[in-house]
Chain A
Amino acid sequence: QQQVKQSPQSLIVQKGGISIINCAYENTAFDYFPWYQQFPGKGPALLIAIRPDVSEKKEGRFTISFNKSAKQFSLHIMDSQPGDSATYFCAASSRNTDKLIFGTGTRLQVFP
C-alpha cells in the first residue's frame, strides 16, 4: 500500500516532442505528489508538485495531471529538449511528514 508505481522505465523522445510519465498509488492518505529531476551524480531537484485539491498544475513546459479517483498522476513535458535528458522520479507523501515514497524512476532521453 506504500508503493508508488512508475512507468515507463525508460523513454526516448525527439526534440520538440511531448514526454509523458505516469505514476499510480494505493494509499489514499497521500496528499502531496512531487516530481523530481535527477542528473547523473547529482541529488534530485524538485520540478513541480501538486496536492489533490486540483486536477492539473502547469509550470512552464511541465504539467502535472492528477486523477484522484483513479489514484494516478502524470508528468507531461512539452517541447522536450535535449537538456531535459535525465531521470525523473514521482513521489508521494502524507500530510505533515517528510517521508516521501518514490517511484522507481524514468530515464528520459531527448534526441535532437
Chain B
Amino acid sequence: DAGVTQSPTHLIKTRGQHVTLRCSPISGHKSVSWYQQVLGQGPQFIFQYYEKEERGRGNFPDRFSARQFPNYSSELNVNALLLGDSALYLCASSPSFGEELFFGEGSRLTVL
C-alpha cells in the first residue's frame, strides 16, 4: 500500500516567488495536515483539512494557504517567499482527525 506521497521532493526558489506543494494521503484517509520543519527543530503545525474544510490553523502568516480536493489530496501554497521559509514541508494523513498521523517524506524547499 502506498504511503503519503508528496511532490516535489526538492525545489529551489528565490525570494518573492510563489510555491505550490502537493500531497496525496493514504488511501481511505480523509484528514490531511501540513507541518513545517526547520533544520534541527521539531515539526510545526501549519494547517489541518478534513472533508475539504479547514479544521485548524497554526501560527503562520497569511502568505501560507492550503486546500483539500474532493479526492482528499491537498496543496500548500506559500506566496512572497522569504529566506526563513526554507524548510522541510511535511504532509500527514489520518483516517479521521484525532487518529494516528502518518507523515510523508516531505518537500525540501530552499529559498535563495
Q: A97-B48, A97-B56, A98-B33 are in contact. Are A44 and B98 (CB under 8 A)?
A: no
Interface bin, chain A: 20 to 34
Contact of A97 among B41, B42, B97 (CB under 8 A): B97
Task: Check B101 against A46 for contact (C-beta < 8 Å).
Answer: yes
Per-position contact with A for B68-112: 1 when CB-CB < 8 Å, else 0?
Answer: 000000000000000000001010101001101111111000000
Q: Which residues of A contact B35 (CB under 8 A)?
A: 100
Q: CA–CA, A89 to B35, complex, Å?
A: 14
Q: List 7 A-B contacts (CB under 8 A).
A: A32-B98, A34-B101, A43-B88, A49-B100, A98-B33, A100-B35, A102-B44
Contact of A96 among B97, B101, B103 (CB under 8 A): B97
Q: CA–CA, A104 to B40, complex, Å?
A: 8
Task: Check A100 against B90 for contact (C-beta < 8 Å).
Answer: no
Q: Which residues of A contact B48 (CB under 8 A)?
A: 97-99
> Smallest distance from the beta carbon of A46 to chain B beta carbons, Å?
6
Q: Which residues of A contact B104 (CB under 8 A)?
A: 43
Q: Which residues of B contact A34 (CB under 8 A)?
A: 100-101
Contact of A98 among B40, B41, B42, B92 (CB under 8 A): B92
Task: Check A98 against B56 for contact (C-beta < 8 Å).
Answer: yes
Q: Which residue of A lies closest to B93 (CB)?
A: A98
